[in-house]
Amino acid sequence: MHRRGVGAGAIARRKLAEAKYKERGTVLAEDQLAQMSKQLDMFKTNLEEFASKHKQEIRKNPEFRVQFQDMCATIGVDPLASGKGFWSEMLGVGDFYYELGVQIIEVCLALKHRNGGLITLEELHQQVLKGRGKFAQDVSQDDLLRAIKKLKVLGNGFGIIPVGGTYLIQSVPAELNMDHTVVLQLAEKKGFVTVSEIKSSLKWETERAKQVLEHLLKEGMAWLDEQAPEEPQYWLPALFTELYSQEITPEEAKEAIP
């Protein structure tokens, strides 16, 4: 009785088949690389054509930029990953966002001593627009968020914290966990928060509330008002709307430029 597959002959045949398969595997990969190279050239041409017709649209129309970015994300492409990518080179999207990144860093550095490294997206938007000057192209808040997402990789602690319908932008490597974030969200309504409010809204114990608030104080992101009528109030300078109109002073500007 012959058992199937057993025996020197069967083994030899199998080895031969595997070797042939591997060989074909090598050839297939090379073929595919060559194919990719060709398709890449074709794609580059298509992109050039698209750019010649619609480059201006991308530059001028923030809604179109959003659509463009969303479509890229859906198919698994990051047009902003490298300045050397086709998207950046031909559509010019790269320079737009990378320069915005520089401007965002400079504003955050200049204002850090005021707000501890936390700033609302609105204020950041205002200050960036001011810095860009009259003749520069307008930027939307969506543009800022995309630029900030790219800056995260530089390790400086850039983060985006959703609060009440808008965002707080963090630009320092301070650790802000869920507890801190939730308290920031609570404080967003009035610009300040108290221990009692935290206890009643979030159902925390006093100790936990105090720890979070002390951390924010230490980081310079919160200021303490002990003169408040009922109990001490913890204010977030990032949320003071009066500060929106305050110019960046020359001293602050010096701090911002390396």
Partner 1 sequence: MDRFSWTSGLLELGETLVVQQRGVRLGDGEEKVKFDSGVLLLSTHRLIWRDQKNHECCIAVPLSQIVFIEEQAAGIGKSAKIVVHLHPASSNKEPGPFQSSKYSYIKLSFKEHGQIEFYRRLSEEITQRRWESMPTGQAMQVNKDTQAGRIRAVGIVGIERKLEEKRKETDKNISEAFEDLSKLMEKAKEMVELSKSIANKIKEKQGDITEDETIRFKSYLLSMGIANPVTRETYGSGTQYHMQLAKQLAGILQAPLEERGGIMSLTEVYCLVNRARGLELLSPEDLVNACKMLESLKLPIRLRIFDSGVMVIELQSHNEEEMVASALETVSEKGSLTADEFAKLVGMSVLLAKERLLLAEKMGHLCRDDSVEGLRFYPNLFLTQS
Q: Map residues 89-128 to x or -, x wherever contact with partner 1 holds by CB under 8 A.
A: x----xx--xx-xx--xx-----xx--------x--xx--
Among 114, 141, 145, 240, binds partner 1 (CB under 8 A): 141
Contact 105, 158 (CB under 8 A): no
| 208 lies in the site for partner 1, by CB under 8 A | no
Tokens standing for residue 162: 């959703």
CA atoms within 13 A on the CB side of 41: 5
Query: What is the footprint of partner 1 within residues 210-239 (CB under 8 A)?
Result: 214, 217-218, 220, 224
The distance of closest approach from Cβ of residue 9 to partner 1 in the complex, given in angstroms and rounded to an integer, is: 27
The distance of closest approach from Cβ of residue 178 to partner 1 in the complex, given in angstroms and rounded to an integer, is: 18
Among 10, 136, 190, 206, binds partner 1 (CB under 8 A): 136
Which residue is it, tokens 């659509």?
Answer: 67
The distance of closest approach from Cβ of residue 1 to partner 1 in the complex, given in angstroms and rounded to an integer, is: 36
Residue closer to partner 1 (CB basis): 103 or 184: 103
DSSP type of residue 244: G
Stretch near partner 1 under the rule CB under 8 A, chosen from 11-19, 86-94, 179-187, 200-208: 86-94
Rounded to 10 degrees, what is the CA torsion of 240, 209, 117, 160? Answer: -90
Binding footprint of partner 1, residue count (CB under 8 A)? 85
Residue closer to partner 1 (CB basis): 6 or 257: 257
**Sheet harboring 233-235: ordered strands across?**
192-193, 233-235, 223-225
Integer Cα distance of 185 and 255 in angstroms: 29
| 151 lies in the site for partner 1, by CB under 8 A | yes
The distance of closest approach from Cβ of residue 32 to partner 1 in the complex, given in angstroms and rounded to an integer, is: 5
Report the largest interatomic distance among the alpha carbons of the chain, rounded to a whole angstrom. Answer: 98
CA-based torsion, 173, 174, 177, 183: positive or negative:
negative
3-state secondary structure 2-55: CCCCCCHHHHHHHHHHHHHHHHHHHHHHHHHHHHHHHHHHHHHHHHHHHHHHHH
| 43 lies in the site for partner 1, by CB under 8 A | yes
The distance of closest approach from Cβ of residue 125 to partner 1 in the complex, given in angstroms and rounded to an integer, is: 7
| 191 lies in the site for partner 1, by CB under 8 A | no
